């Protein structure tokens, strides 16, 4: 028996001891193709609506359930930092920790998460990508947290500093980023045994993770969606649903010994099938609708053909491009006109970058900024006074009336040229290796070379978007010419009709 299989058996014994149950329609297996990563497979056909697992909340490793809770809360640690301390603390207890059996299947760290890559690896593999600067900033912030929060905590609590070193902190952060869930208001974020063994598939999950709670103040049943991660993106899709519905606990699942435990304890998490799955296939969860940069950032992997990919063009880069064509006075005044236009429309939104969607469409604000930068002096002065800009042949448009739906009217010859230049400048951020070099390198790269493999997928997916941006800019030309714009008011009506 391999070490991993032995560890899985130990984990299964630990689950039984902690009343974590799963139906015999699923099993925990390893994937020899993927460096013995763990996955969940259907052993029999499973039907939509089947409850395949139940997990008592107190079996989850959270700040509240950890034996270091009083120390952590007494020192007012919160969020990521608090959970990282709980994880490091329990790990330091070895076999004395109630989660020792769980640690048998939880890796010590997730080396695929870029936070754990060396600076040289980040510079080499992520150059030019959306993650390059972000991950370097993350590393500095995590170090700062360790120095200003963890070290004083360890000293004050008189814990062994060797259990809470910088390396252990980075390791805990990588696990929290790639495996933690939002449980509920009481338990907060935490590590959820068994639920964290399901791999991700974008927009094609088989299972939903549901929390059945008795902490509700309300007499009536209610349900709401909550997050699976503890990061600062609360508006993203959730993995986890809360159902304050005690009747769910009495539903008949496939658990032979489950009934007593389930009826006496409403503090449980459930995994419910949301589609039928055939015997022999992997059962997937979803970690949310994320592009490859976000997936690699938090979880350390990417997906081919991910529909949520994006690439950004920084405002700074647009200003560099403008300064290469015009005086810095020109750039400053055009920027300020664009900002006042933008702020009058969206006063609370500061824009530092512009998103290019997976199909190569730039957001309207980028088109407006390029348009304003490129306005000839006379037209610009007119625009500055009247807020009506002339596109061609003295036909006017009101920039504040241009939205995502009618933005193509801004694709004049010069704006298209601007977009092409920006695509070229953004492309240069990837360094001397061409897109073809990246594609060839990916062909030769085994999936098990995870850092290289996923960074190549990310680079290629971003560069494909830049290719599409170029196509968007070029296709726009015929469209704009054929608009044959008339006078300003007629044009505005046309725009409103779309």
Ligand X SMILES: C[S@@+](CC[C@H](N)C(=O)[O-])C[C@H]1O[C@@H](n2cnc3c(N)ncnc32)[C@H](O)[C@@H]1O
What residues numbered 171-190 form the site for ligand X, per CB under 6 A?
178-179
Secondary structure letter of residue 149 according to DSSP = I
Contact 362, 416 (CB under 8 A): no
Closest among 26, 30, 22 to 281, alpha carbons compared: 26
308 binds ligand X (CB under 6 A): no
Stretch of 34-42, 54-62, 165-173, 329-337 contacting ligand X, by CB under 6 A:
34-42
38 binds ligand X (CB under 6 A): yes
For residues 87 and 7, what is the distance between their CA atoms, to the nearest angstrom? 19
Please, where are the H alpha helices in 375-449? 377-386, 413-428, 435-443
Closest distance of CB 112 from ligand X, Å: 5
Stretch of 83-91, 158-166, 197-205, 332-340 contacting ligand X, by CB under 6 A:
197-205
* Collapsed DSSP state (helix, strand, coil) of residue 127: coil
Out of 101, 300, 362, 396, name the contact with ligand X by CB under 6 A.
Answer: 300
Closest distance of CB 197 from ligand X, Å: 5
Name the β-bridge partners of 314.
353
Helix (H) or strand (E) holding 463: helix 450-483
Contact 311, 430 (CB under 8 A): no
How far lies 409's CA from each of 37, 99, 395, 473, in Å? Answer: 50, 60, 11, 12
Closest distance of CB 49 from ligand X, Å: 24
- Smaller CB separation from ligand X, 293 or 389: 293
- Smaller CB separation from ligand X, 200 or 468: 200
For the chain, state the CA radius of gyration: 27
Quick one: tokens of 117?
């890559």
- Smaller CB separation from ligand X, 112 or 365: 112
Contact 52, 40 (CB under 8 A): no
- Smaller CB separation from ligand X, 8 or 149: 8
Out of 18, 25, 59, 199, name the contact with ligand X by CB under 6 A.
Answer: 199
- Smaller CB separation from ligand X, 179 or 342: 179
The 77-116 contact track toward ligand X, x by CB under 6 A, reads ---------------------------------x-x----
299 binds ligand X (CB under 6 A): yes
Q: Which residues bind ligand X (CB under 6 A)?
A: 37-39, 110, 112, 178-179, 196-197, 199-200, 299-301
């Amino acid at each position: 028996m391999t070490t991993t299989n032995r560890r899985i058996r130990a984990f299964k014994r630990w689950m039984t001891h902690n009343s974590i149950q799963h139906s015999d329609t699923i099993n925990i297996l390893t994937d020899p193709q993927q460096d013995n990563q763990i996955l969940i497979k259907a052993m029999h056909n499973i039907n939509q609506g089947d409850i395949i697992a139940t997990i008592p909340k107190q079996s989850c490793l959270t700040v509240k359930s950890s034996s270091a809770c009083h120390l952590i809360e007494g020192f007012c640690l919160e969020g990521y930092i608090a959970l990282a301390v709980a994880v490091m603390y329990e790990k330091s207890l070895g076999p004395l920790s109630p989660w020792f059996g769980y640690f048998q299947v939880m890796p010590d760290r997730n080396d695929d998460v870029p936070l754990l890559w060396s600076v040289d690896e980040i510079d080499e593999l992520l150059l030019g990508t959306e993650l390059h600067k972000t991950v370097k900033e993350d590393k500095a912030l995590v170090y700062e947290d360790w120095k200003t929060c963890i070290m004083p905590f360890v000293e004050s609590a008189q814990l062994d500093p060797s259990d809470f070193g910088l390396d252990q902190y980075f390791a805990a952060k990588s696990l929290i980023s790639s495996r933690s869930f939002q449980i509920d208001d009481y338990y907060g974020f935490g590590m959820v045994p068994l639920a964290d063994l399901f791999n991700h598939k974008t927009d094609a999950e088989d299972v939903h993770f549901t929390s059945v709670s008795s902490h509700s103040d309300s007499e009536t049943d209610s349900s709401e969606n909550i997050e699976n991660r503890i990061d600062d993106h609360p508006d993203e899709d959730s993995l986890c649903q809360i159902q304050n519905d005690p009747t769910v606990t009495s539903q008949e699942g496939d658990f032979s010994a489950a009934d007593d435990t389930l009826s006496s304890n409403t503090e449980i998490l459930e995994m419910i099938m949301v589609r039928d799955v055939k015997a022999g296939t992997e059962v997937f969860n979803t970690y949310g609708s994320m592009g490859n940069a976000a997936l690699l950032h938090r979880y350390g992997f990417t997906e081919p053909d991910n529909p949520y990919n994006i690439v950004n063009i920084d405002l700074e880069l647009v200003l560099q491009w403008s300064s290469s064509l015009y005086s810095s006075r020109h750039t400053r005044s055009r920027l300020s006109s664009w900002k006042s236009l933008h702020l009058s429309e969206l006063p609370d939104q500061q824009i530092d970058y512009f998103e290019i969607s997976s199909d190569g469409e730039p957001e309207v604000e980028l088109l407006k900024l390029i348009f304003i930068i490129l306005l000839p002096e006379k037209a610009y002065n007119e625009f500055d006074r009247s807020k009506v800009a002339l596109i061609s042949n003295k036909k006017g448009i009101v920039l504040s009336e241009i939205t995502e739906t009618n933005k193509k009217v801004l694709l004049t010859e010069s704006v298209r040229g601007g977009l092409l230049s920006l695509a070229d400048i953004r492309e240069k951020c990837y360094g001397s290796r061409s897109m073809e070099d990246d594609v060839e390198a990916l062909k030769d790269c085994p999936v098990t070379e995870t850092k290289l493999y996923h960074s190549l997928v990310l680079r290629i997916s971003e560069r494909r978007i830049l290719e599409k941006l170029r196509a968007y800019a070029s296709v726009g030309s015929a469209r704009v010419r054929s608009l044959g714009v008339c006078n300003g008011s007629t044009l505005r009506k046309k725009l409103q009709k779309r």
